[in-house]
Structure 1
Amino acid sequence: MLNQLRKSTGFLTGILLGLTLAIGHSVYALKDDQQIPFEDLQAFTEVFAKIKSDYVESVDDKKLVEDAIRGMLSGLDPHSSFLNTSEFGDLKIGTTGQFGGLGIEVGMENGFVKVISPIDDTPASRAGIEASDLIIKLDDKSVKGMTLSDAVKIMRGAPNTDIVLTVVREGESKPLIFTITREIIRVKSVKNRILEPGFGYVRITNFQSRTTADLLKAVSDLQKEQPLEGLILDLRNNPGGVLNGAVGVSDAFIDSGLIVYTEGRVN
């Protein structure tokens, strides 16, 4: 792929302007010498049965099991979470499709919604939402106790409808209030322009399934505009995304060698 990139650009100098990319891949299995903790699982089944028989309202079995799984994963670290089918579908929309919303990459921190990065040229970025902002209220609803999926569903909605975000920002003495109008969000991961004669600029806002192809096209378009002597690759505030997209972008600039690997307890 490097040769393909060089054919379209000649000599390129890549300048990386910061990147925090979290790439996680975990495989879970019981080793041969490990025993299933039946006594501990018995406590779980007893609690499950007690809730089913004595709780004041009837509770769905699937919800109980999902909540138990979420509890197990949330106790590990801030980056481990469980996605059911619906939530995984929402995740795919964020990296491959379009939706009515605000244009914010978000996560959870201390029970609040944390802005990882506002997407360029979206209602959130134009309103002044910044990376590391903590969203504490959506309209009149506190986000404390919400799941990330619940918060995202509230922020998404029909275009041309408003939502009020209450935000805590470091350095501000009191919460900030933003009224933002939802729009159709089309997630564009690659933007490009000529900075000055001979030098191109490419910004990758997140990694999608088409990011590698879009990068090659962006560089080709710049080269058609004028011959390039150097290229600035801007990855600031990139929250990550599709692993293959990140690997493909790296492969475009690396001749050979290992790009990414994982370590774990599973051989």
Structure 2
Amino acid sequence: MKTRLPVLYGMLFGLLLGLFGTQIGPVLAERDEASAHLPLEELRTFAEVLGRIKKDYVEEVDDEDLLEGAIRGMLSSLDPHSAYLNRDEYRELQVGTSGEFGGLGIEVGMENGFIKVIAPIDDTPAARAGIQAGDLIVRIDDKPVKGMSLNDAINQMRGKPGSRISLTIIREGSDPLTLEIERAVIQVASVRSRSLEPGFGYVRISHFQARTPDDLRRAIGDLEQENDGRLKGLILDLRNNPGGMLNSAVKVADAFLDEGLVVYTEGRDQASRLDFSANPDELLGGAPLVVLVNAGSASASEIVAGALQDHRRAIIMGTQTFGKGSVQTVVPIDESRGLKLTTARYFTPDGRSIQAHGIVPDITVAQGELILARPAENAVKEADLIRGLDDADPAETESDGPVDRPLALEDYQLSEALNVLKGVVLFQSDRAG
């Protein structure tokens, strides 16, 4: 055994050099101090296992596949968000931040060996099929996901636009569901807006991309033009927003703040402490703001909600957020591969950790369905009375036009947020008067 170890160490070093190319030299040079504390006994075990597989496994295994599998296993043992990115995965990560990619349109993570839906993205095949935040995907095309890595599951869900895929999901309170979904090229419009009532605007951010802050500013400018140059109040909808780029989240929070800390990060390394602060020129001129969140609001969404909550700039409404408050740094290995490594945690301006806690709303409002009460069938009306007077001009009260549905019938949480927003505006007007 002892005579074989140097050979195995040489083989291991050679394979690592072949896998990472010229990257090994600089990495080793930067880690001289850490190398003095290498777990030699564990490395001996690793080398022994590697040698045994090379010698005795039933089929010949490619060296690069063996070591890539070892690296994947090493990273997957850390947390659900650290991962090795091969050529395809590294390219997909770069494409995803641009706002256009292929697939179903869901943000997912791992939970107890199953794929958990963090949030469906608006106007995508997944959202149209009825997939919801919190769903557990247990089968993909009748193949169990138990035992799959997150990357393997994502790769199976991606495919040629127009091709179909079957997902079996478990949803709390219902029997397992099987959904047939057609893949598509996902083009995410990250910002949408509309006026709810005169003076009251609504902005929905579905994902934080590089262009999101600029799109937000344009959307608010358009809303102001629609409302005589000024908004009385605004609702910012971050429900089912799975996150995205940190810098975009900071700029979105900055758009509603004049000064102060937005978010900071802390990790083991002192260099991981980064502070992100707001600049002057708040967009709304101090107009009241309500932010809607739910369990599908994660990461960058939680940064925005937490910052606005700590600065008392907005009322946070909805349900508790997802609680993804860790920072992933993409470390390139070479031009086509990399590591996604969790290096720090996010903290709100008041020092609250987002990780595993999420953001608790100021006002908790669960999503519900409003059912209008029907009038009693036997209720007596004026028209039913004997010798009751007829309408002098029935034509004046009849209408063939469309009847607006109450907002609460479409979106109960949004309707409640609008009621709160109008209440704040009224309160401020009374104080000013």
User: Counterpart of 2:84 in 1: which secondary structure?
Assistant: coil
CA distance in 1, matches of 2:200, 2:233: 5
- In the TM superposition, what are the counterparts of 1:201-240 in structure 2 within 5 Å? 201-226=202-227, 227-240=230-243
Q: Within the alignment, does 1:58 sit opposite 2:78 as a pair?
A: no
Distance in 2, matches of 1:244 and 1:231, equals 22
**Matched residues in 1 for 2:254 and 2:210: separation?**
14
C-alpha distance in 1, partners of 2:31/2:254? 31
Of 162, 181, 202, 1:160 maps to 162
Match of 1:243 in 2: 246
Question: CA 1:73/1:179 → structure 2, altered by over 3 Å: closer, same or farther?
Answer: same
Structure 2 residue aligned with 1:265: 268
Q: RCO higher in 1 or 2 (8 Å CA, sep ≥ 6)?
A: 1
Q: CA RMSD in A?
A: 2.2
Q: Which residue of 2 aligns with 1:10?
A: none
Residues 40-189 of structure 1 mapped to structure 2, 5 A cutoff: 40-172=42-174, 174-189=175-190
What is the CA distance between 1:72 and its match in structure 2?
A: 2.1
Aligned 8 A contact 1:118 1:124 in 2: yes
| 1:64-91 CA distance string (max 9 Å, x none) | 2222222222222333333233212222
Contact 2:120 2:131 in 1 (8 A): yes
After TM superposition, the score normalised by the length of structure 2 is 0.52
Deviating 4+ runs (over 3 angstroms): 28-34
Q: Identity over aligned residues, as a percent? A: 62
Secondary structure in 2 aligned to 1:59? coil
SS in 2 for 1:163: strand
**Contact 2:92–2:101 (8 Å) recurs in 1:** no
Secondary structure, counterpart of 1:131 in structure 2: coil
Cα–Cα, structure 1 residues 30 and 245, in superposed 2: closer, same or farther, change >3 Å? farther
Q: Which residue of 2 aligns with 1:25?
A: none
Q: How many pairs are equivalent?
A: 239
CA distance change for structure 1 residues 196 and 34 in 2, over 3 Å: closer, same or farther? farther
CA–CA separation in structure 2 for the residues paired with 1:196 and 1:31: 63
Match of 2:44, SS state, is helix
Which structure has the larger Rg over C-alpha atoms?
2
